[in-house]
Amino acid sequence: MPRESPYRIVLTEEERVELTKRANKYTLPYFTVSRARMILFAAQGLGNDKIANRLDTPRKVVSMWRKRFFEERLLGLDERPRPGRPPIFPPGNHRSG
């Protein structure tokens, strides 16, 4: 039996326009396009299981992004700093010799 998410997504017109731009722009990183598509499907009333099947993504991942969008709106879809040791050398800043 499919579970129903407690996070009902209702988009403003501005959010819908921005998410549609992200979802249709394949030059953006995959995760950006995928997250936008998840939220657009959620706004159409699809459940997490159906969204996961359509996007070939684990239901748990869809659930996480749905919740973050519900709580933080568009900013919730942005990448966050990851835990762990920071890189020693910034990319492209190597010195030889």
- pLDDT at residue 93 greater than cutoff 70: no
- Residue 88 located in a structural domain: no
pLDDT digits (tens, 9 = 90+) for 10-45: 999 999 999 999 999 989 999 999 999 999 999 999
- pLDDT at residue 90 greater than cutoff 70: no
- Residue 89 located in a structural domain: no
Domain extent, residue 56, equals 13-77
- Residue 4 located in a structural domain: no
Contacts of 61 (CB under 8 A, 6+ apart): 52
- Residue 38 located in a structural domain: yes
Alpha carbon distance 51, 38 (integer Å): 6
pLDDT of residue 91: 63
- Indicate the number of domains in the chain: 1
pTM (predicted TM-score): 0.80
- Residue 69 located in a structural domain: yes
